[in-house]
C-alpha cells in the first residue's frame, strides 16, 4: 500500500507538471495566433502589466533601448511599428519546448507588404522566448533574422540585390567557438571572449534556482565552463549545430548538447546520458564574443536523468 500511494503521488506530480507546461504552451501559441491576426490588443492581453521586453538586434540596428518595460509601453510601440499593416502575417513553428517558466520557440515568420504597385513577400527565422507566470508573459525576448527580411524587401522595392554583410565573418567565429565547446577546450573557448563578456542561461537559472548562470567577465565565464566541461570529468561530451542564422553582430544557433553526466551530478550513478536542444545566441564584435545566451530544455534534461536512475 505504501508503494502504491508513493506511485500515486509521483503520477499526480507528473500530471501537474504536464498541465503547467501545456498551459504555458497555450498562452504562447495564443499570442502567436493574435500576432498573425495583427490583433495587438489581444496580444497585449497575454502580456503582464510589468512586462520586460527585449529585442537586442533591433536595438543594435536602429538605436532603440535594449529593454522596454510595461504592457502599455509595448502596445503603443508595436501599434506604431505596424501603423501600416502587412497584407498578411504567417508564423510557422519549427521547434518549441517548455523549460521551467520559459517557452522557447524557433519560428519562421512570413509577411507581405505592398508599396504602390510593388508587393514583397519576406520570410525569416526567429527565436522568441517567453517567461510565463500565472498565465501571463512577464518576459519577452526576440532574436530575428532581420538581415534576411531587409534583403528581400530591398530586392523587390528598391531593386537592390546585395547579399554581402561584413558581420557574416562572425559565422566562422561562432562555428569555431562551438567546435571548441564540443571538445571541452575551455582555453580556446576563452580565447574568443571579450574581457567583459556577458553570459546568461536564464532557463538554467529558473529551473535550478541558482544565480550561477548569469556571469560577467572573461575569468568568471571561463571558470564556469571549466567547472562544467573539464573539472567534472564527463564521460562523454558533444555539441552539434543543427542550423543557424544571423543579423547585425548576432549569430543564432540551434545546438544540441549531449553528455554522459559526471557521477557527482547523479549521486554516484554511472552512465547517465542527456541530450537536449539549446538555442544559443552569440553577439560578436571585432572578433570577440561579448554576449553568450543559452535557452535550454531542462525539463527534458531532468526527465532523462529520472528515467536512468
Report, at the CATH architecture level, how domain 2-157 is classified.
Answer: Roll (3.10)
Rg of the chain taking only CA atoms, in angstroms: 21
The cell for 161 is 540585390
Q: What is the pLDDT of residue 64?
A: 84
How far, in Å, CA of 94 to CA of 104, rounded? 11
**Bridge-based pairing state of the strands 193-201 and 288-296:** parallel
Determine the pLDDT at residue 81. 86
Looking at residue 268, its pLDDT comes to 85
Tell me the β-bridge partners of 96: 105
Q: Where are the domains of the chain?
A: 2-157, 166-308
The overall longest dimension of the chain from CA atoms, in Å, is 75
Dist. CA 258–CA 243, nearest whole Å: 16
Predicted confidence at residue 1, as pLDDT, reads 46
Grouping H, G, I as helix, E, B as strand and the rest as coil, residue 177 is: helix
CA distance linking residue 180 with residue 174, whole number of Å: 10
Domains 2-157 and 166-308 share a fold: yes
3-state SS, 195-210, equals EEEEEEEHHHHHHHCC
What does the angle CA 210 – CA 197 – CA 150 come to, to the nearest 5 degrees?
Answer: 110
What is the pLDDT, as a whole number, of residue 13? 47
| Strands across the sheet containing 273-285 | 214-216, 193-201, 288-296, 273-285, 250-260, 236-247
CATH assignment of 166-308? 3.10.450.50
Q: Positive or negative CA dihedral for 242, 302, 204, 178?
A: negative
Span 183-195, pLDDT tens digits: 999 999 999 999 9
- Alpha-helical regions (H) of the chain: 2-36, 40-46, 56-62, 71-81, 146-157, 169-182, 186-191, 202-208, 218-226, 298-308
Q: With a cut of 70, which residues of the chain have pLDDT below it?
A: 1-20
Amino acid at each position: 500500500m505504501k508503494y502504491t500511494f508513493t506511485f500515486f503521488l509521483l503520477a499526480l506530480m507528473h500530471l501537474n507538471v504536464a498541465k503547467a507546461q501545456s498551459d504555458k504552451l497555450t498562452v504562447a501559441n495564443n499570442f502567436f495566433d493574435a500576432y498573425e491576426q495583427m490583433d495587438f490588443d489581444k496580444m497585449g492581453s497575454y502580456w503582464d502589466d510589468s512586462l520586460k521586453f527585449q529585442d537586442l538586434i533591433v536595438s543594435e540596428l536602429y538605436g532603440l533601448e535594449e529593454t522596454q518595460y510595461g504592457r502599455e509601453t509595448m502596445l503603443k510601440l508595436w501599434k506604431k511599428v505596424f501603423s501600416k499593416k502587412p497584407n498578411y502575417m504567417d508564423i510557422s513553428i519549427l521547434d518549441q519546448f517548455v523549460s521551467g517558466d520559459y517557452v522557447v520557440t524557433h519560428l519562421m515568420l512570413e509577411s507581405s507588404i505592398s508599396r504602390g504597385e510593388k508587393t514583397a513577400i519576406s520570410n525569416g527565422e526567429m527565436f522568441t522566448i517567453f517567461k510565463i507566470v500565472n498565465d501571463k508573459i512577464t518576459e519577452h525576448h526576440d532574436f530575428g533574422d532581420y538581415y534576411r527580411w531587409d534583403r528581400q524587401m530591398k530586392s523587390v522595392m528598391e531593386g537592390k540585390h546585395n547579399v554581402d554583410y561584413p558581420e557574416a565573418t562572425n559565422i566562422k567565429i561562432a562555428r569555431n567557438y562551438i567546435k571548441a565547446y564540443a571538445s571541452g577546450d575551455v582555453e580556446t573557448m576563452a580565447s574568443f571572449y571579450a574581457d567583459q563578456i556577458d553570459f546568461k542561461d536564464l532557463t538554467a537559472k529558473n529551473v535550478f534556482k541558482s544565480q550561477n548562470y548569469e556571469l560577467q567577465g572573461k575569468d568568471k565565464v571561463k571558470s564556469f565552463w571549466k567547472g562544467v566541461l573539464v573539472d567534472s570529468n564527463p564521460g562523454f561530451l558533444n555539441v552539434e549545430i543543427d542550423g543557424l542564422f544571423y543579423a547585425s553582430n548576432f549569430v543564432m544557433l540551434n545546438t544540441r548538447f549531449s553528455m554522459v553526466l559526471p557521477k557527482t551530478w547523479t549521486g554516484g550513478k554511472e552512465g547517465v546520458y542527456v541530450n537536449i536542444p539549446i538555442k544559443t545566441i552569440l553577439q560578436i564584435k571585432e572578433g570577440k564574443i561579448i554576449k553568450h545566451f543559452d535557452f535550454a530544455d531542462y525539463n527534458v534534461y531532468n526527465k532523462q536523468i529520472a528515467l536512468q536512475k
